[in-house]
Amino acid sequence: MEKISKIQLPQHSLYSYLEYSPDAIYILDLNKKVVYVNPSFIKLFGWSKDDLYELNFPHIPSELYNEWAGIFQHFDHKKEAVTLDTVRKKRDGELISISITISPLMEPDGPITAFLCLSRDVTENKMSEQKYYRLFNQANDSIFIFEYNDQGKVSNFIDVNDTACQRLGYSRQELLAKSPPDIGDPSLADQFDLSFRSIVQGKTTFIEWIHVAKDGTRIPVEINSKIFKLNNKNMVIAIVRDLTERKRTEELLRKSESFSLIGELSAGIAHEIRNPLTSIRGFAQLLFSETESIQSYRDLVISEVDRINSIIGELLFLAKPQSSDLIDKDLITLLRQTITLLNAQAHLTENEIVMESNPGSLYIRCAENKLKQVFINILKNAIEASPRGAGIKVEVIRRKQNVLVRFLDQGKGIPAEILSQIGSPFFTTKSGGTGLGIMISQKIIQDHHGTLHFAANQPKGTIVEVMLPIKKYRESKMEHNVSQSID
């Protein structure tokens, strides 16, 4: 302790602190030479004071020398302690993470006379932190951490995991510049304070919400929030689960149940109505045939009876779809036939149906008449919705093993708030419509392992998309030849 006395350190209390401190400590003079090393330093690193002096700080990896030298430049301007997390090397070559604090030693109001370097092994803390971040970033659910004040006002996000960034399409820096309301659906803005207050008060931990991704995609989510304290601050960790697939499955189940229920009701209603309708139609023809003056009434009655009969036919289709033979059919040819058929009706209002893309032959396995019924239904709706003289486009796009048929009209379009209801039983926007046409079309497409989707066209109109699986022509031809040879 002789050298310590030369720089006038309080010998008794400071010496006891240095010698028995659990932290690794050494002292440097103004020339950055080691003048003291405590037992904890020797125990942690294995280097003695002489080793540090003679080997020029062997516990500092060579690539960190510049970092070490740069620390002391700080004391040219300020006489405050400096703390940093860095890496040091043991005598056996093992690298460990440490937190080091370098404090200037000086007389009261006097110049700096020495530097005290205190090192603390934080390797286990770092490993725990790394494990936490691995779990944090590899979680399947999005995780957000943020703070709130006593008034319930929330801060920007303090931390977010990789899944949150991927789901919402933001970089980590972009998300950290946002707060929870910023990523919520604007339609729910008025409900945020109430929902968050319920979480803070412990009334609930789970809420269903809607997040909006960077590209505008609305994502239904379930949020599980936990309140905790950190450094005397109110914190929230929110674990967010994407409900998109669950909602889609629930919707499919709901529609499936609707189809089943409508089918059962349809079968009973149709059979009960069809028999008396047959009698009514026959007696109406007989009754009105005797009087010429009421010929128009006869035609009206019979027309309405036939219309009811047609609706019953549609109900029976839902109740018990007729089996159809599947054949390999060129989708392009099928579309051309349908367009030729419907253009005659379109020309009456100076409309024109045009197929704008043609990727060549695309064979699909289908019930030809059923699929044609779907296309006719879509194009008739497009003609009725389009203003006089407007064009109707049909696009065919191949997507790997599927083909997308897109129908685009220039009508008024379908309001966004009712788009999700299209295809629901008996829902229609047309006066005199039954709502069964689209419902039957959806069922036909589903039976073909495809999808039917409605969207708004820009700047106006409606887009109807039909996705169907492709059957390669060569495979179809081969199967056909094989079946012939077996016969």
Domains of the chain: 2-123 (3.30.450.20), 139-242 (3.30.450.20), 247-319 (1.10.287), 327-475 (3.30.565.10)
For residue 451, the cross-strand partners are 467
294: helix, strand or coil: helix
Mean pLDDT (10-residue bins), the chain, 487 residues: 47 77 91 90 89 84 85 80 89 88 84 90 77 82 92 90 94 94 91 87 85 93 90 89 86 67 62 64 64 61 70 62 75 89 85 81 87 89 90 90 92 77 64 68 88 83 92 46 35
Q: CA 376 to CA 453: how far, in whole Å?
A: 16
> Would you state the pLDDT for residue 482?
33
Residue 151 exposure: Cα atoms within 13 Å on the Cβ side: 2
Q: CA 417 to CA 168: how far, in whole Å?
A: 24
> Would you state the pLDDT for residue 122?
86
> Would you state the pLDDT for residue 468?
94
**Beta carbons of 368 and 327 less than 8 angstroms apart:** yes
**Beta carbons of 240 and 222 less than 8 angstroms apart:** yes
**Beta carbons of 480 and 328 less than 8 angstroms apart:** yes
pTM, two decimals, is 0.44
Phi, psi dihedral angles at 4 (to 5 degrees): -65, -40
Q: CA 349 to CA 383: how far, in whole Å?
A: 8
Q: CA 239 to CA 141: how far, in whole Å?
A: 6
Q: Which stretches of 388-459 are DSSP H helices? A: 416-419, 436-447
**Beta carbons of 157 and 144 less than 8 angstroms apart:** yes
Q: What is the DSSP letter of 144?
A: E
Using the CB atoms, write b or e for 429-467: b if 16+ within 10 Å: eeeeebbbbbbbbbbbbeebebebbbeebeeebbbbbbb
Q: Under the phi-then-psi rule, with left for phi > 0, alpha for psi from -120 to 50, and beta for the rest, what region is 191?
A: alpha
> Would you state the pLDDT for residue 6?
45
Q: CA 434 to CA 230: how far, in whole Å?
A: 61
Cα dist. 79→71, 103, 412 in Å? 12, 8, 74
Phi, psi dihedral angles at 382 (to 5 degrees): -65, -40
**What are 302's two structure tokens?**
């019979």
